[in-house]
Amino acid sequence: MTGTVSERVQKVVPTISVGMLTADMMVLGRELDAIKEAGVVMVHFDVMDGKFCPMITVGPPVIKSVRTDMLKDVHLMINEPLEHLESFVAAGADLITIHPESTIHAHRALQTLGTMKNHNDHARGIMRGIALNPGTPVAVVEPLLDEVDIVFLLAVNPGWGGQKFISATPARLEQVRALIERSGRHILTGLDGGITRGNIGEISKLGVDILVIGSAVFDGPESAKNARFMLHELRQGREQ
Ligand code: DX5
Ligand code: ZN
């Protein structure tokens, strides 16, 4: 794949970004090869600091240690992300998503991210995302739209994989779409969390560009088969 990260992603949407939170770290290399084989192009790292949300997960050293040519999608659920951007960029992040709830300077953090070079390949640039917790009014993204390539809505409260999809999410997605429409910019949409075999049929009809899916891929022994199924359902639903 050539071009910037945003250009690469726009060529393959709708697609899934596979959440690593519930992956079996003892066989991670094999798992990554398996999902790549199944057509996955993005892996989603949930970075949590135990302050922004209750869980503590992984940081730049672990993300750097994961050697893959799939795109590294880094979801920063940490306070003051501006202070940490450089270390995640150095770890090879291709997409970095921050939460406006985590800093008073979300705009400046996104502006700063926009000046940074992709460590995998300078020409790729770094795709910028903003993600909202389920309780954050969608209007918060409006002043940030000039500085992002994608808006994610969390369909679960941050902290754990395997939670239930919050039913208010589709209506919030419509609000995000209206704001993007008004901005006149080509900005992608994403949903993160709570997407399962049971609901992907319905969710895929919402026309979302990236679905972040963790436990529905990694729970159980056949992650490649799960990933193939979720990708197929997403693309089927988009055609309806
Ligand atoms: C939740 C994370 C999500 C979650 C997705 O805080 O941001 O990415 O891990 O996992 P599932 O698909 O299991 O809900
Ligand atoms: Zn996430």
> Which atom of ligand 1 has the smallest separation from the CA of 217?
12
Fold of 5-239: TIM Barrel (3.20.20)
pLDDT tens for residues 60-100? 999 999 999 999 999 999 999 999 999 999 999 999 999 99
> Which atom of ligand 1 has the smallest separation from the CA of 48?
6
Cα 157 to chain centroid, rounded: 15
Identity of residue 133: N
Instruction: Report residue 14's pLDDT band, with 50, 70 and 90 as the boundaries.
Output: very high
Domain range summary for the chain, segments of one domain joined by +: 5-239
Distance between CA atoms of residues 178 and 87, nearest Å: 34
Query: Please, what is the average pLDDT of the chain?
Result: 96
pLDDT tens for residues 168-225? 999 999 999 999 999 999 999 999 999 999 999 999 999 999 999 999 999 888 999 9
Mean predicted confidence (pLDDT) in 108-117: 98
Please indicate whether residue 75, judged by its CB atom, sits closer than 6 Å to ligand 1.
yes
Cβ 194 vs Cβ 156: under 8 Å = yes
Is 192 annotated in the active site? yes
